Structure 1
Amino acid sequence: MTGSPLPAEQRGPLHSTQRIDRYILVETLKPLFASLLVVLVALLMERLLRLFDLLANHGGPFNMVMWLVANLVPHYLGLALPAAFFISMFIIVARMGEDNELDALQSAGLSVPRIARSFLGLGVALMVFSILLFGYLQPYSRYGYSAIYHMVVNAAWDATVPQGMFVDAGEGITISADIVDATGRRLEKVFVQQDRGNGETWVTTSVTGALAATDDRQRVLLTLHDGVQVRMLPDGRRMVMEFGELTLDKPFQLVTEPFRDRGGSERELTLHELWSEMHDPKSIVPHTRLESELHGRLARSLSLPLLPLLAVPMGMAAKRARRGQGIALATLILIIYHHLIQLGESLGDVGRLSPLIGIWVPFGLFCLLCGWLFHRADVRPGENPFAAMFDAIDTLVGMVGKLFKRRRKAGGGRP
């Protein structure tokens, strides 16, 4: 026997609360994804400019930049996720407070923990995701980034010069040409700088030039025509030589040394690899660094379900046009907490403090703070500690504003 959905008037309170959960969850995901996108783009754009500068100095194809950026995404995602999650919850709770939706839900018999259930569920889901992110994605992406960076910086020169770019040919030799043919070896308007290592710098310019490797592929020859060479000596003197034809040669090696295997750093190890290395007496990574890295990753992941306990009472207190104050205060709290975890990791790395104290004590204090604030918001919504804090900030800002007005009035008659 098949049944049909019950009409709206026959549906119980469970269905209504589930709709409320879905509504809160959907409304939270919108600013969460938007915040993550904005923060990721901002962070990656700053690094992208540095990567373009790297390729301009060392040469290399454009797709190398894209691979480097792709390997940076897990790192920056781990930095942006807690802040984006907190801000999205804070905005939604503050908006629901301004629209009196929170009052309506509480009047209907829903407690603050029941209203926050969607936030807590999302926090648990993000905790699982962050364990995968910190524990497995980031170690591989860190190694991938280091491997590609090594390839770009230490890549053997292939005896070609891209047009309009400065190429580091190794051994202190830099080559550039304004016009280059399709092979990359027929050059016009050539510039060559040689740092000789004894304090001398030779700068050579020529009308044309040609690159060629010797038959044994051991040396590369650069033949220049109709140019000038300026030799700057250590004592400040300069020697100028004009030439019709000049050949420069240098050792040539096309093979790049391979990058090391993954695991040279504790940050490149997955969670289970960290655990195995901690119990391996032959590990090349110090035990203190392994232990601090493991505890630091777990503490950061487990912190995500605590953020709703902080965001909900703060959002409830910021419903009267106090979003700016709330975001600033939340940013300050999260930054302090992040740096305390980092400090605990650093002290654990050098063996000055056990990670059980340096990392988990700040985590425990943060957990107690969030739990106490959430409990106060549930038991005494009208006596939210954040509301009193925001009132104090308003009073302080008002006093400072009045002080500046008085000073302006007092100095108004001065020339």
Structure 2
Amino acid sequence: MALIDRYLARAIFIPLLGTLLLAAMLLVLDKMLRLFDFVVSAGGPVSVVWQMLANMLPEYFALGIPIGLLLGILLAFRGLALSSELDALRGIGVGYGRMLRVPYFYAIALMALNLFIVSYVEPYARYNYEGLQFDLRSGTLGASIKVGEFNRLGDNLTLRIDKSEEEGTDLSGIFVSLKTDEMDVAATAERGEFLATDDPDTIIFRLQNGRLIQDADNFATPRTLAFDSYDLPVSLPRVGAFRDRGLDQIRELYLPELTQLAYFTPEAELEQRLAARANLHFRLVEVIMMLMLPLLAIALAVPPKRSSSSLGIFVAIVMVVTYHKINQYAWGAGAQGRLNPEVALYVPFLFFVVLIGWMYHVIAHRPGGQPIGALEAVFSKVAKGVKKIMPNPRARALARRQAAREAREAQGSAAS
């Protein structure tokens, strides 16, 4: 039995890992393009994109782990079924209940990991992600100066650069307008560079070979100045501190904090308690459902005899995605008070538990049982109809050769 367990563990591990990584990569690629657009439009450094993606990974893994677990087990048992190894195992007395030992080892381990992610890692990463967005919008991470355009840096500084070299340290074709409490300054210069100072709130913009105009209320006329080098102090705009974690953001609360707010903080507003209850039970039902995924995977992994139909894979993905979308709707409706959060989330949960339990019972305890037998029959008829309407290329090639042969024979008969 130990050899069988090791064999099943290896058979499950590779598709599980591959599916998990593939799902995470697809989600990251989808988000990466939007993040690049957001960061570039905000004028921030491109390196912040990787920081934001890193903070999105816990959410993607929380979604990808159940799908990876389901498809890992399903593909492993499907391979056993197609190679008749599953029949051999059952023939020597190894039933589905015994074979579920290894899948449940994976399921319990991954469920514990996923619970830790949705309880602590994902809320903290979401808070960091929102903090990076705040820094980008406020300019704390630094803003890139767009060449050939007028750039507003804060409320008082307007800057235009015609050309930038050496990663922004050597600027040329400069126009700058600075408004302070004492005076207004406008200057043009051939070259310039930004220099740091001991004061983190002030930088020096060193201009070379230009002209400068100063205007103030106590000046009879504006003053003009031609210079070879001029240091223009620029005060950086003050940026407020980012909010505390969880302030009006229920998804940033850890699971114990969410439970405290949902049921043990009577002074909290009703809207907050409803949102906390909905989010709390959304996290829980998503994680607990992982215990049913090995049963669902086995129920859909075994195709009908003398068939290699992959309909079970399609049905499995549809069921998992549908369940997740139903939970998302129930979470939103519960948070808004349109539905009771517990009822809205646990009714679909119990329905899917009963459905998956019935599907496993059919495959495991009914001789020749097929949980989606009706769908398989319909799918087979549709596939045969499509083949009749659209014959395969080989059949079309054979038909063309036969027609050509008949045409040659007819020409030969006519010539004779």
Alignment of 1:163-312 (within 5 A): 169-171=153-155, 175-180=160-165, 184=168, 186-189=170-173, 208=191, 252-264=235-247, 265-278=249-262, 279-283=264-268, 286-312=272-298
Work out the CA distance in 2 between the residues paired with 1:158 and 1:86.
Answer: 44
Q: Report the alpha carbon displacement of residue 27 of structure 1 after superposing the two structures with TM.
A: 1.6
Work out the CA distance in 2 between the residues paired with 1:51 and 1:383.
Answer: 48
Q: Residue in 1 aligned with 2:33?
A: 49
Count how many residue pairs are aligned between Structure 1 and Structure 2: 361
Q: Report the alpha carbon displacement of residue 341 of structure 1 after superposing the two structures with TM.
A: 0.9
Work out the CA distance in 2 between the residues paired with 1:94 and 1:385.
Answer: 15
Q: Residue in 2 aligned with 1:322?
A: 309
Q: Is the 8 A contact 2:52 2:129 kept in 1?
A: yes
1:114 equivalent among 98, 110, 116: 98
Q: Report the alpha carbon displacement of residue 209 of structure 1 after superposing the two structures with TM.
A: 5.4
Q: Residue in 2 aligned with 1:6?
A: none
Deviations 1:295-337 (A, max 9, x none): 00000000111011111021112673222x2222212111211
Uncovered stretches (5+) of structure 2, i.e. residues with no partner: 178-186, 212-225, 397-416
Q: Report the alpha carbon displacement of residue 166 of structure 1 after superposing the two structures with TM.
A: 9.3
Write the letter of the residue equivalent to 1:121: F
2:10 equivalent among 8, 13, 26: 26
SS in 2 for 1:359: helix
Q: Is the 8 A contact 1:160 1:185 kept in 2?
A: no
Against the structure 1 CA distance between its residues 191 and 365, is the aligned structure 2 distance closer, same or farther, given a 3 Å change threshold?
farther
Q: Is the 8 A contact 1:289 1:348 kept in 2?
A: yes
SS in 1 for 2:130: helix
Uncovered stretches (5+) of structure 1, i.e. residues with no partner: 1-16, 194-203, 228-243, 410-415
Work out the CA distance in 1 between the residues paired with 2:251 and 2:335.
Answer: 12
Against the structure 1 CA distance between its residues 34 and 159, is the aligned structure 2 distance closer, same or farther, given a 3 Å change threshold?
closer
Work out the CA distance in 2 between the residues paired with 1:124 and 1:157.
Answer: 41
Q: Residue in 1 aligned with 2:344?
A: 358
Q: Residue in 2 aligned with 1:342?
A: 328
Work out the CA distance in 2 between the residues paired with 1:321 and 1:307.
Answer: 22
Work out the CA distance in 1 between the residues paired with 2:328 and 2:301.
Answer: 27
SS in 2 for 1:179: strand
Against the structure 1 CA distance between its residues 283 and 176, is the aligned structure 2 distance closer, same or farther, given a 3 Å change threshold?
farther
Write the letter of the residue equivalent to 1:355: P
Write the letter of the residue equivalent to 1:118: V
Against the structure 1 CA distance between its residues 18 and 177, is the aligned structure 2 distance closer, same or farther, given a 3 Å change threshold?
farther
Q: Is the 8 A contact 1:159 1:211 kept in 2?
A: no
Work out the CA distance in 2 between the residues paired with 1:38 and 1:174.
Answer: 45
Deviations 1:347-401 (A, max 9, x none): 1011111122110000000000111111111111412122442222111232244
Q: TM-score, normalised by structure 1?
A: 0.75
Deviations 1:16-58 (A, max 9, x none): x122122212221111111111221222123223333333333
Relative contact order higher in (CA < 8 Å, ≥ 6 apart): 1
Q: Is the 8 A contact 2:62 2:118 kept in 1?
A: yes
Write the letter of the residue equivalent to 1:270: Y
Q: Residue in 2 aligned with 1:123?
A: 107
Q: Report the alpha carbon displacement of residue 221 of structure 1 after superposing the two structures with TM.
A: 7.1
Q: Residue in 2 aligned with 1:152?
A: 136
Against the structure 1 CA distance between its residues 250 and 46, is the aligned structure 2 distance closer, same or farther, given a 3 Å change threshold?
farther
Q: TM-score, normalised by structure 2?
A: 0.75
SS in 2 for 1:188: strand
Q: Is the 8 A contact 1:377 1:384 kept in 2?
A: yes
Bigger shift: 332-341 or 208-217? 208-217
